[in-house]
Every structure is written in structure tokens, then in C-alpha cells.
Amino acid sequence: CKVLVSGANGYIAIWVVRTLLEKGYSVRGTVRSEEKAAHLRQLFKSYGDMHEVVIVEDITKEGAFDEAVKGVDAIEHTASPFHMNADDPNELINPAVNGTVGILKSALKNGHSVKRVVVTSSGAAILRDSPTPSTFSELDWNEQCLEIVKEKGREAPNMMKYRASKTLAEKAAWDFWNEHKADVGWDLSVLNPPYVFGPAIHALTGPSSLNTSASLFYNTVALPNSNGATNEFLASTGTCWIDVRDLADAHVLSLENEAAGGERIIVSAGLWKWQDFIDAANAISPPPKLTTGGLPKGNPCAGTGHPSTVHLLYYDTAKAARILGLKYRTIAETTKDTLADYEAKWW
């Protein structure tokens, strides 16, 4: 059974590749350049012919994935920009939407053996900022970001531009599938994870090259004084999260479970505030060897569980439990493994 993974060099995707290989699947990863293939080839060398990397230079080009989809049984589409530096919202929206529709078009044209396509969407395509606590389910769509980006364009907050890219890409995926489901031998399944944290196995030159979510974690949980964040910020900032390894499992389970077909699925381990991860870091015994100065302390125990803590965003994860039966790592486990990873790499 061979699985195509787009953007295979990314933080999440490389864990998806590893999990698939460990479970006995063959994997064809796509990356944008030969240079980005090298680390993957080295890391998964022991898998021999079970692992290959192909170059798809520009995922927005018509027919970009036409060759890559040939002969695969399933597709995991993760490639999409996740950063907060876009001026024009289309810098994010175009690759997100055209990359997603492009890979589905290629699957329609040449994916004769494809049975399932899993798209990595996001909680960003579901949630809405609200001043009062709200619980979101797979029935919700983030129309708020679309309105804000439509109204403000380049002046919209960067987070709203990213959310719009994920919302529009996921909507486009469902529209495409609904239009073509009678003509294809595959169905669509979408994963909607919140913030993703945990160890990194992709190519990194240092902490500053971490992807967006892991870099927030490094700066706040591993740098002294949380890089200048106030105790108030650490106690009040946080939403929901999932460990990158659990998310990789979810990607594989979404391929394997018949019932995941035609579903968008929220996968979330639960609530967090930065103070929770900081408390978990300080509870590690023996403490991690830091070369960056001491661990931040914040205001110990002022995070989740403290009577004054307010969470505004909750997810209903019943569908993931029912269909995927996913087990989630805890804040303590993820923090311990992530700091051990930093220690091994950089400290």
C-alpha cells in the first residue's frame, strides 16, 4: 500500500511519513526542491524502496501533482503555508487553495488506484474569536476570518489571513469532492487540528528555523523569562493543542478507518495556557540541561485549573473518539519529550 504525502519535509508531514513507514506503508513524499529531499532520504534510508521523494516545484501550477499521484493508494495533503508574514492575503490563500484543488484534480485525472484522500485542514477553518467561551464542532465554519480578510485585505491581522487560507482551502476541497464524487474511486477525509507541539524531526539549522507553532513553544517554554512575555500573558494565553506524533497517528487512522470518509474531524488533546507547559517543564526530573539560561517560571500554577483561568475556545472531539479512537499525549509527556529533543539538538 503506497501513500503520497505532500510537503513531506514539513514539521507535521515528516512525522506522518515516519508513522506510515513504521506501520508498513510505502511512502512517496513531495518536496519543493532537491535540497529539501536530502534530509528525508537520509532519515529514512533504512526503508530502502519503501520510501521515495519526488520534486513538485510549484504546487499551484496546473497538473503539478499529475505524475506524483500515479500508482498510489492514498494521499495525505499537508503542504500549505503556515506563517504570519504575509502582506497580501493571497500569498497564503493561493497556495493553500490551488495546492489543495490541484492535488485533487490530479487524483481525479491520474489517481486510478487512490481510495482515500486526507487533507490537513485546521481548527482555524472552524473556530471564531469570541469574547465569551464557545464550543465548536465539525458543523462550524470560520466565516469570521473570511469577512475580516474581505473587508480589510492587507490590513487584516496576519492570523486572520492564515485562517482564511485554511478555511477557503478546506471549502474548496469539499466543493471539489462533492462535484466529482461520482467520477472517482476515492473519498475525502479532513483533519482539523489545533496548535501542534512536540519534538521535531525535520531539517533544522537551529531554533530559529522551527515552524510557526513549535517556534512559539520554544520561545515561551524554553527561553528564560519566556522571551519577555509577562506572567499575565502566560496565564491567559492558550487555546487547544495536540502532540505532533498523535496528529501523525490521526493521519494514518484516517486512511484506515472506513468511517472517516466524507468527514471533517477535529483532533485535539484539550486545553492549554502557556503556564501549563511552563509548570510541566519545571516539574521534569532531572531538570533539562539548559544552555540558554534557566527555564521560565511565570506564575506557577496560574494556568488551567486555577479558578481565575478563562478558556474561550473549546472543541467537541466526540467524532474523533468515535471514528479514530485516538489516544492523546498529556502536557507533561509532550513537554518532557520536547525539551529532551531541544537538549539533544541544541543544549
Distance between CA atoms of residues 163 and 80, nearest Å: 12
Please choose, out of 9-17, 63-71, 225-233, 284-292, the segment that lies near ligand NDP by the rule CB under 6 A: 9-17
32 binds ligand NDP (CB under 6 A): yes
334 binds ligand NDP (CB under 6 A): no
The contact mask relative to ligand NDP for 94-133 (x = CB under 6 A, - = no) is -x------------------------x-x-----------
In the complex, what is the shortest distance from the CB of residue 22 to ligand NDP, in angstroms, rounded to a whole number? Answer: 19
What does the block give as the cell for 302? 496560574
Distance between CA atoms of residues 131 and 129, nearest Å: 7
Distance between CA atoms of residues 60 and 96, nearest Å: 9
Chosen residue from 25, 136, 195, 218 binding ligand NDP by CB under 6 A? 195
265 binds ligand NDP (CB under 6 A): no
36 binds ligand NDP (CB under 6 A): yes
SS3 at position 6: strand
What does the block give as the cell for 136? 465548536
Distance between CA atoms of residues 256 and 212, nearest Å: 29
Distance between CA atoms of residues 214 and 338, nearest Å: 9
The contact mask relative to ligand NDP for 76-95 (x = CB under 6 A, - = no) is --xxxxx------------x
- For 8-19, the DSSP string reads TTSHHHHHHHHH
Q: Residue 227 to residues 166, 288, 299: CA-CA distances in angstroms?
A: 29, 18, 15
Q: Which is nearer to ligand NDP, 238 or 302 (CB)?
A: 238
Distance between CA atoms of residues 116 and 286, nearest Å: 45
SS3 assignment for 40-56: HHHHCHHHHHHEEEEEC
166 binds ligand NDP (CB under 6 A): yes
SS3 at position 227: helix
Per the CB < 8 A criterion, the answer to whether 148 and 156 are in contact is yes
Q: Which is nearer to ligand NDP, 162 or 231 (CB)?
A: 162
> Tell me, what amino acid is at 242?
I
Please choose, out of 38-46, 72-80, 129-137, 256-264, the segment that lies near ligand NDP by the rule CB under 6 A: 72-80
36, 105, 166, 319: the catalytic one is 166
| Helix H or strand E segment including 66 | none
* Helix, strand, coil percent content, the chain, rounded in steps of 5: 45, 15, 40
Distance between CA atoms of residues 195 and 249, nearest Å: 16
In the complex, what is the shortest distance from the CB of residue 294 to ligand NDP, in angstroms, rounded to a whole number? Answer: 27
7 binds ligand NDP (CB under 6 A): yes
Q: Is 166 a catalytic residue?
A: yes
With CB atoms as reference, the residue minimizing the distance to ligand NDP is 10
Please choose, out of 43-51, 74-82, 283-291, 321-329, the segment that lies near ligand NDP by the rule CB under 6 A: 74-82
Q: Which is nearer to ligand NDP, 249 or 302 (CB)?
A: 249
In the complex, what is the shortest distance from the CB of residue 78 to ligand NDP, in angstroms, rounded to a whole number? Answer: 4
Chosen residue from 11, 136, 177, 274 binding ligand NDP by CB under 6 A? 11
68 binds ligand NDP (CB under 6 A): no
**Residues within the interface to ligand NDP (CB under 6 A):** 7, 9-13, 32, 36, 59, 78-82, 95, 120, 122, 166, 193, 195-196, 211, 213
- The catalytic residues are 166
